Structure 1
Amino acid sequence: MNDTRCKVLVLSGQGRYGPAVDALKATCEVVEAASIDLAIDALRSDQFSAIFSDSADFLPLERALVSQQANLVLNTIGEGVCIVDAEGRCNWMNKKMQAWPARVHEKIRRSCQGSFELFSKQVSPANPETPPAFNRSKRYALNIEDQQFMEMVCSPVINPAGQVVQVVAVVWDATGTRRLQQKVDAIDKAGRELVRIESDLMSKLNVGQRLKLLEEKIISYTKELMHFDHFVVRLLDRRSNRLEPVISVGIPTDALNVELYAEMEGNGISGYVASTGRSYICPDTERDPRYINGLDLAKSSLTVPLTLHDKIIGVFNIESRQRAAFNEDDRQFSEIFARYVAIALNILDLLIVERVSTSHKVADVVCSEVAGPLNDIASDTAALLDVYIGNDELRTRLKAIMENVETIRSSLNQAAQGPNTSVLGAADVVGTEDPLFTGARILVADDEPNIRTTIQNILHKYRAEVTLASNGGEACQILEEKEFDVVLSDIRMPDKNGYEVFACARSKSLTVPVILMTGFGYDPAHSIVRASQEGLQAVLFKPFKVDQLLGELRKALATRVPATV
């Protein structure tokens, strides 16, 4: 047997080629097919060197082969293809189209029927002798019960008489792209809301209320944007290099109390990100040596830096109980969102410490503080524009973000405006009988002697018992020894900051009111932000009026639980 003989396909439907076929069999391996369909099946399953057929059969065989190849192509491409007639009947569809559920077929069929009517009006000429004016396709965006989004292009099939006889539709699943667009929309909306400062609203809110409003926005937009329910925002205390938790959702207290520093080794993923400025996806917490326990039963995490002026001010850590819950899209969009969070927190800090008499100066400071981050957002968005070339809808929304950056810049100029002159006015204090102040035990901690003594003299006129501390360490020591009705502490002292004094007071009593004082300047330890989240009573901005001091103290004393003698 000669295995090297060539293989010939013989189309012998009418048996006319007996002698010729016998001659071929002497030198070739012959495969006979009784019909064109059988010949096509043979060609599909085997390879042949030649085809032997009557010349009249070649044309239908060639057409059948072309049709077969066309079907193969249409069934291989990633789009669904169908043909719909004037009655809205689907005469043919490829395998991709067949795989979609009936609700998708119905939506496509109705859209094609509408296209047929539109094309019939536009393409079919009034005069049959006039050729069709054009053959234009129409694009549709199909929403399938808000669960699936399809893109469709319909094209008319026009006969020689210039009449539309069918509509061909090419359909593809655009759910992923649409959801990507929705994320971009959410980032844009969340970013604008986070950094939008309404002066009328802010003037009516105290520091705790401002932080609460910001916290609620961050939580709301994080859930809307990324559908994450467990996260923590940590801000960097540059003096100690420690990452302090400021806002958290769904993270256990024990995990928040773990001391983390901005160092590459030994301080978990948050420390690594704060040290390097590089985002970090942890797909499996059990296999990552950098991971330090946070969320109970956490399986994966995503940590991105909070940056201002190319400097790390903190980290945004998100955790999940699902392994590999985060991908590169999550990382990319979280980085952009984190920039807005950083700007919002920084604006809050700047507004907290603004002096009313220097409103124009504050406005300049606010604008200069956020100019760099806004430029970073614009740069990141521009980079995304390059990545999504060809996706016009997504690029349009990205361009909207860039336009909103300019809106943010202009609105910030109004954020810190407003006349705010204040003086201590201690010399005018006379003092009156006030049962709230009489016998009230008040601790005053400040490293400036004139502030300590001035406040002491004012409160003595109202018959309060005042204890003075010249620094934070002394204040904490006194708090260990005595109990007070109110603690009044400066934020920036040489040894301990205002939050540390606040924490000392709360460690002795969960109900003792604490009021922090600050002058104009940035709060490097974020004492106000952190203490406000944990129940800070109020903040006084130096120089403050006597009435402001007395007013805040009255509020605190009115809600106090009597101290133990």
Structure 2
Amino acid sequence: MSEQTALRKLLVLHGPVLAAQGVVEFLQQHFEVSVAAELADALDAMRQTQFDAVLAETADFLPLERGAVTHQAAVVLDTIGDGVCIIGPGGELVWANRRARELPSETRQSLKTLCMSVFEEFSEMKNCAALRGKRFSMMPQDGAYFEVLCSPVCDRQGVLRQVAAVVVNATVQRRQELKLNAIDRAGRELVRLDYEALSNRDAVQRLALLEERIIRCSKDVLSYQHFAVLLLDKRTNRLELVISEGLDEDPRKYELFARTDGNGICGYVAATGRSYICHDVRTDQRYIPGLRNARSSLTVPLRLHDKVVGVLNVESDGLRSFGEEDRQFAEIFGNYVALALHILNLLTFERHSTHTQVSGSISAELNGPINDIISDASELMEDYIGHDRLRSRLGSIIEQATQVRQAIQKLAQSPTIIGALPAEPKRHDPVLVGKRILVADDEELIRQTVHDVLTPYGCQVDMAADGLQAIENISKFNYDLVITDIKMPGATGYQVFQSAKAKNSAAPIIMITAFGYDPNHSIVRANQQGLNSVLFKPFNVRRLLEECRTALTAKA
């Protein structure tokens, strides 16, 4: 009996055989025995107490086992997170687990209506055994979203009797899906910067258009009210402000670099490429103030081709306002922002590249015939020695053809100004006359052409062949207008811009460039600090004069 005495609690379902043989009395001498007179009592005892063993007569064993299994199944169904129920053909609730019973009354009624409709649909099928479950979605008026799987319940004869339903509350997942769809739509709108939308806009207007779209999408889709976009200058490793919305502190007053220490959260994110959630700005040493009374922030990298090109920083006056879901959404949106900025640059670059390709094609097509003319004329000169008049004319042809070839080669190598004409007699223009203008460009043709265009209007035009010379001129003279190329030796156009603004904050400045992709973000930064206009080579004389007049008028 040593092995049997290890069993402490026994449940005995009383029966005539066990009573006649005195089994119960014998077991009571060695175990703690509970006796149930009926099957229902035994099942009820099993629900309330954990027994080590159950003893029943053979005739009662199968019903008892089924009851135990049913009890265990009911326990499992009551503990799972989804609602499970059985609905009759008239909408009556036959059975439901705890989660289904806890559903709001409106939701339960919607579920009954759905199951009744499904029962009618299933009833039209003759073979109940061949029926398969069907999925539905259910959206009560309280804003919740449920996914429902309805399956037929058939009897042994294959007759449909009821509908079993599994109800999954997918409200959170649905909201995430809708938000992702909204972010995707907003992102597509950001990158839909087609040529028709931008062809009549200058660089400043294009940036303003993109800025407006980013701000609108951030507020409408992600509910961002306080945020900033900063781009990384690969040359200096500095983060430059592009867009700032709803921040009390001016981010420009902080000099931030892509470094893990000493450059705030934005610098850390730009250096590591990892997003950063600041749950409480009061306890985070990396936080640099942006929003007055800010309590938390979220900063994500802007990525392009797996490279960090900037950061998106969002701030909130609520404590712990951002979680992992917000981080994921912000990262997706940030990638769209990076792509939109890149496309904006590429559209401009495409315009320059097209011009260069056309010029190169013209050069390739004409160089051959021009070379033939020069070669043939040279041979004729050798044949007509002594015919001075004819040799003189052939020499003129060779000289003119050589000049044409050089001009075409220069056109292919460097964008120029369309419609530039030789200097004309002075014209009276009250806006331009008497103005001292600095033209800084490392291409002599550009400098000289701008000089020749503006001088007849009474302008005094100084020229600088590189950025350092331009900065030196600015330090010596007072200019009414500065026209500077973006990419020059010595110093960049943005550094020339800074020097001019440092001397005179109201000085009008026009930037010119043949490079649509601006890796140092000179146009973006200058636009934030008072840039008047940008001219993209090739530009025509009319456009040059219009921009000069507009810039000088704005100053006045």
Q: What band does the TM-score fall into relative to the shorter chain?
A: 0.7 to 0.9
Matched, 1:514 2:509: yes
- Aligned mate of 1:460, from 455, 468, 484: 455
Q: Is residue 2:67 matched to residue 1:64? A: yes
Looking at structure 2, the residues matched to 462 and 55 of structure 1 have their Cα atoms a distance apart, in angstroms, of 118
1:405 aligned partner? none
Residue in 2 that maps onto 1:375: none
Larger Rg: 2
Larger mean CA deviation between 312-321 and 206-215 belongs to: 312-321
Q: 3-state DSSP class of the match of 1:148?
A: coil
Deviation at 1:168, TM superposition (A): 0.6
CA distance change for structure 1 residues 443 and 253 in 2, over 3 Å: closer, same or farther?
farther
Q: Identify which of 5, 8, 18 aligns with 2:10.
A: 8
- Aligned equivalents of 2:491, 2:102: Cα separation in 1: 67
1:549 to 544, 547, 552: 544
The separation in 2 between residues aligned to 1:356 and 1:430, in whole angstroms, is: 32
Larger CA deviation: 233-242 vs 499-508: 499-508
**Secondary structure of the structure 2 residue equivalent to 1:289:** coil
Q: 1:286-309, CA deviations, whole angstroms, 9 ceiling, x for partnerless residues?
A: 444333333334444333333344
Find the counterpart in structure 2 of residue 158 from structure 1. Answer: 154
* Pair 454,157 (structure 1): closer, same or farther in 2 beyond 3 Å: same
Partner of 1:106: 109
> Shift in Å at residue 441 of structure 1?
5.1
User: In the aligned structure 2, how far is the partner of 1:360 from the partner of 1:135?
Assistant: 68
Secondary structure of residue in 2 paired with 1:351:
helix
Moved more, 155-164 or 449-458: 449-458
State the shift of 1:467 in Å.
5.7
What's 1:176 paired with?
A: 172
Equivalent residue letter for 1:462: Y
Picking from 347, 350, 370, the partner of 1:351 is 347
Question: Deviations along 1:421-478, whole A, 9 cap, x unmatched?
Answer: 9526141544422222234454444455654454344333212355656655676677
The amino acid of 2:213's aligned partner reads: K
User: Which amino acid is 2:80 matched to?
Assistant: I
Identity percentage of aligned residues: 47
- SS in structure 2 of the partner of residue 263 of structure 1: coil
Superposed CA RMSD in Å reads: 3.6
Counterpart-to-counterpart distance in 2, 1:421 and 1:485: 24
Contact (CA 8 Å) 1:211, 1:533: kept in 2 or not? no
Q: In the aligned structure 2, how far is the partner of 1:461 from the partner of 1:341? A: 45
Q: Identify which of 319, 324, 333 aligns with 2:315.
A: 319
In structure 2, what is the Cα distance between the partners aligned to 1:276 and 1:342? 17
User: Does residue 78 of structure 1 match 2:81?
Assistant: yes
Give the match's secondary structure for 2:289.
coil
Residue 68 of structure 1: how far off its partner (Å): 1.6
1:193 and 2:202 are equivalent in the alignment: no
The correspondence for 1:301, drawn from 297, 303, 308, is 297
1:435: which partner in 2?
A: 430
Matched with 2:43 is 40
Q: Which amino acid aligns with 2:239?
A: L
**Aligned match of 1:425:** 420
Tell me how far 1:30 sits from its aligned partner. 2.3
Distance (whole Å) between structure 1 residues aligned to residue 59 and residue 273 of structure 2: 74
SS at match of 2:29: helix
**Tell me, what secondary structure is at the counterpart of 1:347?**
helix
Amino acid at match of 2:548: L
Instruction: Choose the corresponding residue for 2:210, options 214, 220, 223.
Output: 214
CA deviation map 1:244-278 (0-9, x unaligned): 11122233343342111122322223223322333
- 2-structure distance, mates of 1:170, 1:492: 66
Q: Secondary structure at the match of 1:427?
A: coil
Aligned mate of 1:271, from 248, 267, 275: 267
1:483 and 1:37 map into 2 onto residues whose CA distance is: 105
Shift of 1:238: 2.3
The secondary structure found in structure 2 opposite 1:293 is coil
Aligned to 1:539: 534
Q: CA 1:256 to 1:558, structure 2 compared with 1: closer, same or farther past 3 Å? A: closer
The alpha carbon displacement at 1:169 in A equals 0.5
Deviation, structure 1 residue 71: 1.1
Amino acid at match of 2:292: D
Q: 1:229 aligns with which of 225, 228, 246?
A: 225
Q: Could you list the per-position Cα deviations for residues 500-540 of structure 1 after superposition, in whole angstroms to 9, with x for gaps in the alignment?
A: 44455556666554321112353232111233345532111
- Contact conserved, 2:229 with 2:312, CA < 8 A, in 1? yes
Q: What is the distance in 2 between the residues matched to 1:435 and 1:478?
A: 25
TM-score by length of 1: 0.76
Structure 1 residues 139 and 311: alpha-carbon distance in aligned structure 2, compared to 1, 3 A threshold: closer
SS at match of 2:135: strand
State the secondary structure of the residue aligned to 2:146. Answer: strand
The 1-side partners of 2:226 and 2:210 are apart by: 17
Note the 1:259-408 alignment, pairs <5 A. 259-356=255-352, 358-359=354-355, 361=357
- List gaps (5 residues or longer) in structure 2: 359-414
> Tell me, what secondary structure is at the counterpart of 1:246?
strand
SS in structure 2 of the partner of residue 144 of structure 1 = coil
Instruction: Give me the whole-angstrom Cα distance separating, in 1, the residues matched to 2:535 and 2:491.
Output: 18
Name the CA distance, whole Å, in 2 between partners of 1:5 and 1:161.
Answer: 44
Question: 1:140 aligns to what?
Answer: 136
- Quote the residue 1:91 is aligned against: 94
**Residue 195 of structure 1: how far off its partner (Å):** 2.4
Looking at structure 2, the residues matched to 546 and 148 of structure 1 have their Cα atoms a distance apart, in angstroms, of: 63
Q: Distance in 1 between matches of 2:315 and 2:516?
A: 34
> How far apart are residue 58 of structure 1 and its match?
4.4
Distance 2:299 2:177 in 1: 23
Separation of aligned partners in 2, 1:252 and 1:478: 37
Deviations 1:303-339 (A, max 9, x none): 3333344443222333334444444444444444333
In the alignment, residue 185 of structure 1 is paired with which amino acid?
N
Q: Is the contact made by 2:249 and 2:292 (CA closer than 8 Å) also made in structure 1? A: no
TM-score relative to the length of structure 2: 0.77
Report the CA distance shift for 1:105/1:533 in structure 2 as closer, same or farther (over 3 A): farther
The alignment partner of 1:515 has SS state of: strand
Preserved CA contact (<8 Å) 1:446 1:470 = yes
Between the aligned partners of 1:200 and 1:11, the Cα distance in structure 2 is 87
Whole-angstrom distance in 1 between the partners of 2:107 and 2:468: 70
Aligned residue number for residue 398 of structure 2: none
| SS of alignment partner, residue 8 of structure 1 | strand
Q: Which residue number in structure 1 is paired with residue 486 of structure 2?
A: 491
Q: 2:423 touches 2:452 (CA, 8 Å); kept in 1?
A: no
Match status 1:528 vs 2:531: no
Q: How far apart are residue 551 of structure 1 and its match?
A: 1.1
Q: Displacement of 1:357 after TM fit?
A: 7.1
Bigger relative contact order, structure 1 or 2, given CA contacts below 8 A and separation 6+?
1
Aligned residue for 1:27, secondary structure, equals coil
State the distance in 2 between where 1:156 and 1:204 align.
64
Contact 1:229 1:250 in 2 (8 A): yes
The equivalent position to 1:31 in structure 2, one of 30, 34, 39, is 34
In structure 2, the CA distance between the partners of 1:118 and 1:544, relative to structure 1 (3 Å rule), is same
